[in-house]
Structure 1
Amino acid sequence: MERFRLKNPVLTQGLIAGLLAYIPAFPLLLGTALFSLGDRTLATPQPQMPNSSVQSPLSRGTAANPQFQGQGDRPIPLSWDNPELLLAIEGESATIQSLAFSPDGRFIALGGGRNDPRIEIWDLQQEKRIRHWKTSQNRVLALTFSPDGNTLVSSADGGAIEVWDVQEGKLLHRFLEHRSNVVSLAISPDGRNLVSGGLDGIRFWDLGDRQLIRVLLNLQPIYSVAFRGDGQLIAAGTHQGNIILWPVIPSEGTAIVGNPLTTSFQHDRGITTLDFTPDGNRLIAGSFDATIKCWDLVNRELLYSLVDHPTWIKSLKINPNGQLFASASEDGIRFWNLDTGEAVGFISAESDWAQAIAWYPDGLTLATGGLDRIVNLWRGGIGPNEDAIASDSP
C-alpha cells in the first residue's frame, strides 16, 4: 500500500503548512507570495521553475538550477550540520536503487532493485503516488527526467534503456544496443541527446529520432556519465580510475561528438560517480578507492581530495545552487563545501546505507533512498550567520 508519511512531529497542520513552518527568514528574499494558514500568514519566495504554475510543497523558492548560475543569484545558504528529516515516502519496491526529481520539482521517481524492477512516480503536490509499473528487467539502475519533465528514461541490468511517458506510465521506446548492465544515464540540457554508461562502454543517442548516434567507448566498464550544464562536454569515469572528456558540437541536425580529450584526472580505482559544478568549471568524482576528488577544468589541476568516507563512494550530487555537494557511502551521507572541500554536515547511516541521492531543484532538500525501501527527504536549516543577517535586515 502506498504511503506518504510525515516523519517529524512538528508537521501537524498539513504538509504545506508544516514545511513552511521551517522557514523563518522569508522576508529576506525577494519575490514572495503569501500563503494563508489559518490564523497565521507566512511568506515564501516563488521558485523559478520551468512551469511556474506547478508548486510542490517542498519548494522553498529560489532558482531551480539555472544554467551557469551566478553568485548573485544564489539563495541564502543553509546549514547542513544537523539536517532535519521532513518526511518519508514508502514505496512498494523491495529497495530503492535510483532516484530522480522532475525539473519542475513536482514529481519524484523511484527505481527499485533486488529483483523488483519497479518504477514509481510520486506527485509531491498531490501527496500521492500517481503511477507505478514494472520494467522488463531485474532492477532499475538509473533514472533521469527529460528537461521538460514529460518523459523518464530508465536503465537496468539487462542492457535495455527504456523511455517512458510520465503521465501515462506508457513505454514509448526501448533501446537495445547495450549488451550488459547500463548503470548511468544523462540527458543533454536541450533534451535532444542521451548518453549512457554501462559495463560494455558508452553510447550516445538521439532521443528525438530514437536512434544510436555513436559508440563513444566500447567493451570497457563505465559506472558514471554526465553532461556539463551547457551540453557541450561529456564526462565519464572508467573502471581503471581514469576520467575521459568528449566535446559535443551543437548543430541543427544530429549533434557531433568530437574525439576524447586527454586529461590527467585519475583515481587509484574505478570511478563510481561524477558531476559537473553548475558553472561548468569543475568536475567532482567519487571512486572505489573511497576518495572524492575535485578538478579545475580550466587550469587542469586537482583542487582537493577528500578521504573521510571509509568505503567506496556510492553516489555524489552537486547542489544546484553551486555551494555544496552531498556524497553517499556505507557510513551515511556527508555534505561538503564545494569551494574548499570542508565538511559541513553528516547524516549517519542507521542500518541500510543509501543507494541513491537526489537534490530537489531548488537545492534546499535532499532525497535519499536505500535498502529499507524508504525515500527520506532532508532539509537544511538557517545557520547562525543567516540568523544574524535576518536580525539586521530592515
Structure 2
Amino acid sequence: MERFRLKNPVLNPGLIPGLLGYISALPLLLGTALFSLGENTLATPQTRMSDPAVQSGLSESTASNAQVPGQRDRPIAPTWTNPKLLLAIEGESATIQSLAFSPDGRFIAIGGGRNDPRIEIWDLQQEKRIRHWKTYQNRVLALTFSPDGNTLVSSADGGAIEVWDVQKGELLHQFLEHRSNVLSLAISPDGRNLVSGGLDGIRLWDLRDRQLIRVLLNLQPIYSVAFRGDGQLIAAGTHQGNIILWPLIPGEGAAIVGNPLTTSFQHDRGITTLDFTPDGNRLISGSFDATIKCWDLVNRELLYTLVDHPSWIKSLKINPNGQLFASASRDGIRFWNLETAEAVGFISAESDWAQAIAWYPDGLTLAIGGLDRIVNLWRGGMGANEDAIASDSP
C-alpha cells in the first residue's frame, strides 16, 4: 500500500507550493529536524597537479561552457548545516535503487532494488502515485527523464534499456544490444541522444530514431557516464579508475563522435559516479577508493580530493545552481562547497541505507532513497537570513 507521508500535517495543502516557494514560516512549521549532524570537518585538499600528459585535443573539447540555458535563473544555494526533513514517500518497492525528478519537478520516479524491479511515478502536485509497473528485469539500476519529461528511460541488470511513456506507463521501446548490467544512463540536453554504461562497455543511442549510433567502449566495465550541459562531451569512468572523454557533435542526423580523449584523471580504484558542473568547466568523480575528486577541465588539473567518507562513494550529484554538491556513502549524505571543498553539512544514515540521491530542479531539496524503501526529501536552510525570517514570522 503506497503512502505519501508528510512529516508535518501543517504542510499538507499541496506540495508543489512548498517546494517552489520557500515560505517564510517553514523553519517554524517543520519543528525539530529528524537528523544527526555529523562533524562539520574541512575536506582534505591536495596540491593542484598539472596534467601535461593529456592529449592536446582535450583543452579545445573541454573549453568553457558558460552559455548554459537557465543557469543564471537558479535560486541561491541554501545552507545544509541544518537541513529539514520535509516529507517522506513510501511506495511498494522493497528497497530503492534509483531516483529521478522530471525536469519540471512535478514527478519523481522511483526504481526498486533487487528482486523487486518496480518503477513508480509520483505526482508531487497531486500528492499521489499515478503510475507503477514492473519492468522485465531483476532491479532498476538507473533512471533518467527526457528533457520534456514525457519519457523515462530505465536500465537494469538484465542488459535491456527500456523507454517508457510517463503518463501511460507503457513500454515504448527496448534497446537490447547490451549483454550485461547497465549501471548508468544519461540523456543529452536536446533529448536526442542517450549514453549508457554497463559491465560490457558504453553505447551511444539515437532516442528519436531508436537505434544504436556507436559502441564507444566494448567489453570493459563502466559504472558511470555523464553528459556535459552543452551535450558536446561525454565522460565515463572505468573499473580501473580512469576517466575517458568523448567529444560529440550533435545535429539533425546521427551525432558525430570524436576519438576518445583518455585523460590522466584517475582514482586508485574503479569510478562509481560522475557529474559535470552546470558551466561544464569541472567534473566531479567518486570511486570505490572512498575518495571524491574535482577536476578542472579547462586547465586540465586536479583541484582537490575529499577523503571524509569511510567507504566507497555510491552517488554524487551537483546542485543545479553549481555552488555545492551532495555525496552518498555508507555513513550517509555529505554536502560540499564546490569552490572551497569545505564540508558544509551532513545527514547521517544507517549502514548501507542511502542508495540513490536526486536534486529537485530548483536545487533547494534533495531526495534520498535506500534500503528502508522510503524516499525522504530534505530541505536546505536559508542561510544567514533564516533566523531573522523565522523571528519575524507570526
Q: Tell me how far apart the structure 1 counterparts of residues 155 and 72 of structure 2 sit (CA, whole Å).
A: 37
- The answer to whether the 8 Å contact 1:67/1:278 transfers is no
Q: Does 2:332 correspond to 1:327?
A: no
What amino acid is aligned across from residue 121 of structure 1 in structure 2?
I
> Is the 8 Å Cα contact of residues 159 and 182 (structure 1) preserved in structure 2?
yes
Counterpart position of 2:365: 365
Question: Residues 15 and 218 of structure 1: is their aligned pair in 2 closer, same or farther, counting only changes over 3 Å?
Answer: closer
CA drift of 1:68 comes to 2.4
**Residues 123 and 304 of structure 1: CA distance in aligned 2, closer, same or farther (over 3 Å):** same
Residues 123-202 of structure 1: pairs in structure 2 closer than 5 A: 123-202=123-202
1:284 is the counterpart of 2:264: no
Give CA deviations for 1:101-127 in whole Å, capped at 9, x if unaligned. 000100000000110000000000100
Residue 174 of structure 2: SS of its match in structure 1? Answer: strand
> CA–CA distance in 2 between the matches of 1:120 and 1:182?
19
Q: Compared with structure 1, are the counterparts of its residues 231 and 87 closer, same or farther at alpha carbon in structure 2 (3 Å cutoff)?
A: same
| Aligned residues of 2:5 and 2:88 also touching (Cα < 8 A) | yes
Unaligned 5+ runs, structure 1 = 27-65
Contact 2:25 2:389 in 1 (8 A): no
Conservation of the 8 A alpha-carbon contact between 2:74 and 2:320: no
Give the C-alpha shift of residue 196 in structure 1: 0.2
Aligned 8 A contact 1:19 1:86 in 2 = no
Does the aligned pair in 1 maintain the 2:16–2:124 contact within 8 Å? Answer: no
Alignment partners' CA distance in 2, 1:21 and 1:153: 29
Q: Which amino acid aligns with 2:308?
A: D
What's the TM-score once normalised by structure 2's chain length?
0.85
* Cα distance per residue 1:37-75 (max 9 Å; x no partner): xxxxxxxxxxxxxxxxxxxxxxxxxxxxx9626885442
Deviations 1:230-260 (A, max 9, x none): 0000000000000000000122211011100
Residues 12 and 229 of structure 1, relative CA distance in 2, 3 Å threshold: closer
Q: Tell me the SS of whatever aligns to 1:341.
A: coil
How large is the Cα RMSD of the aligned pairs?
2.2
Mark the runs of 5 or more structure 2 residues left unpaired by the alignment: 27-65
Q: Identify the residue that residue 47 of structure 1 maps to in structure 2.
A: none
Q: Size of the alignment, in residue pairs?
A: 352
Cα distance in 2 between the residues matched to 1:25 and 1:292 = 36
Q: Tell me, what secondary structure is at the counterpart of 2:265? A: coil
Relative distance call for 1:297 and 1:135 in structure 2 (3 A) is same
Number of the residue aligned with 2:213: 213
In 1, Cα distance between the equivalents of 2:265 and 2:330? 25
Cα deviation code 1:176-199 (max 9, x no counterpart):
000000000000000000000000
- Tell me the residue number matched to 1:56: none
Aligned to 1:68: 68
Measured at CA, do residues 95 and 4 of structure 1 come closer, stay the same or move farther in structure 2, by a change above 3 Å? same
Equivalent residue, structure 1, for 2:295? 295
Instruction: Give the match's secondary structure for 1:263.
Output: strand
Structure 1's 221 and 89: CA in aligned 2 closer, same or farther, altered over 3 A? Answer: same
| Alpha-carbon distance in 1 for matches of 2:159, 2:279 | 33
Map 1:61-140 → 2, pairs under 5 A: 68=68, 73-140=73-140
Map 1:308-319; keep pairs closer than 5 Å. Answer: 308-319=308-319
1:322·1:338 contact (CA, 8 Å) conserved in 2? Answer: yes
- Residue pair 2:284, 2:295 contacting (<8 A) in 1 also: yes
Partner Cα separation in structure 2 for residue 23 and residue 192 of structure 1: 37
Q: Report the secondary structure of 2:261's partner residue.
A: coil
TM-score by length of 1: 0.85
Evaluate the alpha carbon distance shift between residue 336 and residue 76 of structure 1 in structure 2; reply closer, same or farther with a 3 A threshold: same
Question: What's the counterpart of residue 232 of structure 1?
Answer: 232
